[in-house]
Amino acid sequence: MMNRRTFLETASASACFTILPRHVLGGSGVVPPSDKITVAHIGTGTQGLREMPRLMAIPEIQIVAVCDPSKHAIGYRDWGTDDLLNELRTVLDKPEWMAGTEGTVPGGRDVAKNFVETYYATELPGGAFKGCSSYADFRELLDKEKDVDAVKIMTPDHLHGIISIASMKRGKHVIMHKPIANRLQEARMVIDTARETRVATHFMPWEANGSMDQVMAWINGGVIGDLREIHNWTNRPVWPQYTSVPTASTPVPEGFDWDLWLGPEAYRPYSPDYTNMVFRGWYDFGGGSMADMGHYSLWTVFNALELGSPISVEPTLTHTCGLKDGIAFTVNNDFSFPTASTVRFKYPASGKRSAVDLVWYDGGMRPPTPEELEIDNEELPIEGMMFVGSKGKILAGFLLEDPHLILQGRMPKDLVAPVRVRGQRGVVPSGMRQWIAAVRGGPQSPSCFLNAGPISEAVNLYAVALRTGKKLLYDGQSQKVTNVAEADKYLSREYRKGWDPRAQ
């Protein structure tokens, strides 16, 4: 029987792939089919499709299978009606691609398969290519596509851990979007599995992390005194976060396997208000604003400051009130993230670093405007990062862009500030290059799962603190909350039968 790699070599014997049209890529990268890393793309919703061309632009990689519980482009939501469709048409250099679907947000495995095959066909004689398989269930994919080298996981958050563990146990290398898992203990299982199997892993937020070089030069040089606080704020959420559980009876869309989408989570009736872009706002399915954006801004901060486990996590959050029979009440919401919140993490002293607080803000919340800015009638931007020391502050963009000092008084004339180092957003991804080298036998890349333990712990504790609404005292050694008994149940999940990753 012809395996996947033999098929690719045969289908491509007389052609070289230019992974993107030349007007988009600016050149060609020719890699023999036998040397390509074959990838199964798991998750083909709007974000999966939006990210897909970036992967395909790498000459060493070829997508050979797609997987999603949704077959058709039905019911998808996005931030614009035809924005994604037009993006994909531009990549293909085919303005007529999917003609007649205007007004319908693209998504689902049929659209993904069509896009992959159209993309790779552009450089083949006759313009035909049929080398992409399609699956609803990732488990069937892993059973049948045994010669696939790697998977890329672009599903809702609650499936990340399950799929990555199953893939790594089968020897597949893994690329995954954030978060590693939306439960703390499951995230630890993912990292432990990566360590045990030694497959090459790439956690995608690495590519967006800015540089801490400038900030650390000022901190280590004593320019702002002892570092005391780090503040990071975002305008997220930019999606609905619901104040009640869906109750309307809604038919499951044609070609959508609702049971597969639920995966490890408890069964409930289908609602479009759980799926697609809005999954992020549900504790069961998402990770909230910090999981969505905090990996991009804070992973490099965790590494530079050697932040380990926090000793406490303290939430401040919005609540919702309702009326029943004319009587006002506060909604007991442990199902959806709040509209806005701040969460303060306390980290103990480590090495030469003093104890430091990390404060996360979302939903439009920001720290108070520093007095140094008020003097000039300035205010903080809608998103940003600030490092507060005993003698001054460092203000930067959300991804550490353009860090600059705001000191108490004037900067001494004999103090020469280090050269500014801007964030690395938009630079050709180095993490993927290092992952490719790791797949081919090199060392693990800095973007591997093994380096994401502390940031994953913080993101999941953020959710637990918000869900309980209480200050948590945390023991990182045992991974237990020591003062709020009900909090520990949110550190893990109860798996539906057949979904426990420890049994896969």
pLDDT digit string (tens) for the chain, length 504 residues = 334 444 344 333 333 323 344 334 333 457 877 789 999 999 999 999 999 999 999 999 999 999 999 999 999 999 999 999 999 999 999 999 999 999 999 999 999 999 999 999 987 767 778 889 999 999 999 999 999 999 999 999 999 999 999 999 999 999 999 999 999 999 999 999 999 999 999 999 999 999 999 999 999 999 999 999 999 999 999 999 999 999 999 999 999 999 999 999 999 999 999 999 999 999 999 999 999 999 999 999 999 999 999 999 999 999 999 999 999 999 999 999 999 999 999 999 998 899 999 999 999 999 999 998 988 889 999 999 999 999 999 999 999 999 999 976 544 433 444 444 433 433 337 899 999 999 999 999 999 999 999 999 999 999 999 999 999 999 999 999 999 999 999 999 999 999 999 887
Please tell me whether residue 14 adopts helix, strand or coil conformation: coil
- Calculate Rg over the CA atoms of the chain: 24
CATH of 4-208+428-450, one of 3.40.50.720, 3.40.50.2300, 3.20.20.210, 3.40.640.10: 3.40.50.720
| Domain span(s) for CATH 3.40.50.720 in the chain | 4-208+428-450
Q: Record the pTM.
A: 0.90
* Residue found by looking up tokens 């290519």 in the block: 129
Question: Residue 443, exposed/middle/buried by CB under 10 A (0-12, 13-18, 19+)?
Answer: exposed
Q: Which residue, among 458, 456, 447, 450, has the nearest Cα to 208 in the 3D structure?
A: 447
Strand residues in 350-483 grouped as ranges (E): 356-362, 384-389, 392-396, 404-407, 472-475, 480-481
Distance, in Å, from the CA atom of 294 to the CA atom of 228, rounded to the nearest integer, reads: 20
Q: b/e for 473-489, b at 16 or more Cβ within 10 A?
A: bbeeeebebeebeebbe
Question: Residue 310, exposed/middle/buried by CB under 10 A (0-12, 13-18, 19+)?
Answer: buried
* Residue found by looking up tokens 């980290």 in the block: 347
Helices (H), 40-159: 46-56, 83-92, 109-121, 138-144
Distance, in Å, from the CA atom of 183 to the CA atom of 285, rounded to the nearest integer, reads: 10
Q: What is the pLDDT of residue 428?
A: 39
* Residue found by looking up tokens 């701040």 in the block: 342
For the stretch 371-378, contacts whose Cβ atoms lie closer than 8 Å and that sit 24 or more positions apart, written own/partner, are: 372/406, 372/407, 372/408, 373/406
Distance, in Å, from the CA atom of 16 to the CA atom of 29, rounded to the nearest integer, reads: 9
Instruction: Could you please state the CATH topology (level 3) that the domain comprising 213-240+288-425+456-503 is classified under.
Output: Dihydrodipicolinate Reductase; domain 2 (3.30.360)
Angle between helices 184-197 and 453-468 (to 10 degrees): 160
| Domain span(s) for CATH 3.30.360 in the chain | 213-240+288-425+456-503
Please tell me whether residue 344 adopts helix, strand or coil conformation: strand
How is residue 48 written in tokens?
Answer: 């999966």
314 and 277 Cβ atoms separated by less than 8 Å:
no
Q: What is the pLDDT of residue 29?
A: 53
* CA count, 13 A, side-chain hemisphere, 177: 24
Q: What is the pLDDT of residue 199?
A: 98
Distance, in Å, from the CA atom of 215 to the CA atom of 220, rounded to the nearest integer, reads: 9
108 and 52 Cβ atoms separated by less than 8 Å:
no
How is residue 119 written in tokens?
Answer: 């993309």
| Dihedral Cα 130, 135, 140, 141, nearest 10 deg | 50
Distance, in Å, from the CA atom of 75 to the CA atom of 43, rounded to the nearest integer, reads: 15
Return all residues near 409 (Cβ < 8 A) that are at least 6 apart. Answer: none
